[in-house]
Amino acid sequence: MQCSKCRRDAVIYQRYSGLHLCEQHFNRDLEAKAKRAIREHRWIASGDTVAVALSGGKDSSAVLYFLHRLLHERRDVRLMAITVDEGIGGYRDPARARAIAERIGVPWVTASFREEYGVTLDEIVARKGTGLSCSYCGVLRRALLNRVAREEGVTKFAYGFNLDDEAQSVLMNVLRGDPYRLTRPVREVAGFVPRIKPFMYIPEREVALYAFLHVEGFDLAGCPYAADALRGDVRGILDAYTYRHPATKYSLVNLGEALRNPEQPPEGGLRVCERCGEPCGEVCRACQVLDEVRRGA
């Protein structure tokens, strides 16, 4: 098929727009959407230090490449990458993430569950089973990323979350019946590095294509512990429904945005944990997870 905007060969068909796009117009389209998200949310300002949570997978590698293209000529914004080694045998080698950061040309730092918590995710799963592995990993990984980012002077944390991820999160909160997470406003809290998501309006398959076109050496393997996660079930449901109704994921993301009224005060709010010093809710879930793991409860 030919590109809908020129006569070059198309590299992708967007079912939701009805357009066939060549590589040049695909790149323009994706980058325009990401720039618009940054502009509308006012995510990056002069003086910011932006860190990408770089796993070495397609999404984080693509967002690092995009942000480098966007920011490399600006002297008033600094870009770097941070990688966390959870300790999963045969998965997520930090050396892969380091090589990607070096090829793109951004500073890179790393941290590990072993050094920070004295336990790896493999050891947590051996003690607790796979049922809550994603929950434990997510809590501990976010806490460690936030601490390292703070130490590095980071003012904005960029994640590679795409449209599919965001839509799945909204639907997961609906299925859990979790009104707080659906309506919790995005606000700055002392000690918590704000997150930005430039690809939140871009489908996963388009982010993957962008990564294939521009980044060498990213990891395609999925986490071996993800099979039992609720997100996998929701992904299957949502993909099947979206095949028949192509705009569904956009509708869910827009719903999630609309429900977060910044003028509505959050229930309870955040505080600082007395034990680890990290921002948390009523209880520090990171400390709670570590206690459960260490005592084998």
pLDDT in tens, 117-133: 999 999 999 998 877 88
Whether residue 187 has pLDDT greater than 80: no
Distance in angstroms (rounded) separating the CA atoms of residues 78 and 51: 8
136: domain CATH number? 3.40.50.620
Secondary structure (3-state) at 260: coil
pLDDT interval class at 241 (50, 70, 90) = very high
User: How confident is the model over 214-236, as a mean pLDDT?
Assistant: 84
254 within a domain of the structure (yes/no): yes
Tell me, what's the pLDDT at 263? Answer: 52
Long-range contacts of residues 167-176, Cβ cutoff 8 Å, at least 24 apart: 167/238, 167/248, 167/249, 167/250, 167/252, 167/253, 168/231, 168/234, 168/235, 168/238, 169/256, 170/252, 170/253, 170/255, 170/256, 171/234, 171/237, 171/238, 171/252, 172/230, 172/231, 172/234, 175/230, 175/234
pLDDT in tens, 11-40: 999 999 999 999 999 999 999 999 999 999
161 within a domain of the structure (yes/no): yes
pLDDT interval class at 179 (50, 70, 90) = confident
Q: Is the dihedral of CA 108, 278, 258, 265 positive or negative?
A: negative
Tell me, what's the pLDDT at 228? Answer: 66
Lowest mean pLDDT among 45-49, 89-93, 238-242: 89-93
User: How confident is the model over 237-253, as a mean pLDDT?
Assistant: 93
80 within a domain of the structure (yes/no): yes
296 within a domain of the structure (yes/no): no
Lowest mean pLDDT among 71-75, 164-168, 191-195, 265-269: 265-269
How many distinct structural domains can be found in the chain?
Answer: 1
Q: Is the dihedral of CA 12, 60, 193, 103 positive or negative?
A: negative
Tokens at 226, concatenated: 């993800």
244 within a domain of the structure (yes/no): yes
Whether residue 49 has pLDDT greater than 90: yes
Tell me, what's the pLDDT at 11? Answer: 97
77 within a domain of the structure (yes/no): yes
87 within a domain of the structure (yes/no): yes
Question: Model's pTM, two decimal places?
Answer: 0.86
Distance of CA 210 to the CA centre of its chain: 16
pLDDT interval class at 218 (50, 70, 90) = very high
Domain that holds residue 239: 45-263
Tell me, what's the pLDDT at 203? Answer: 96
Tell me, what's the pLDDT at 75? Answer: 94
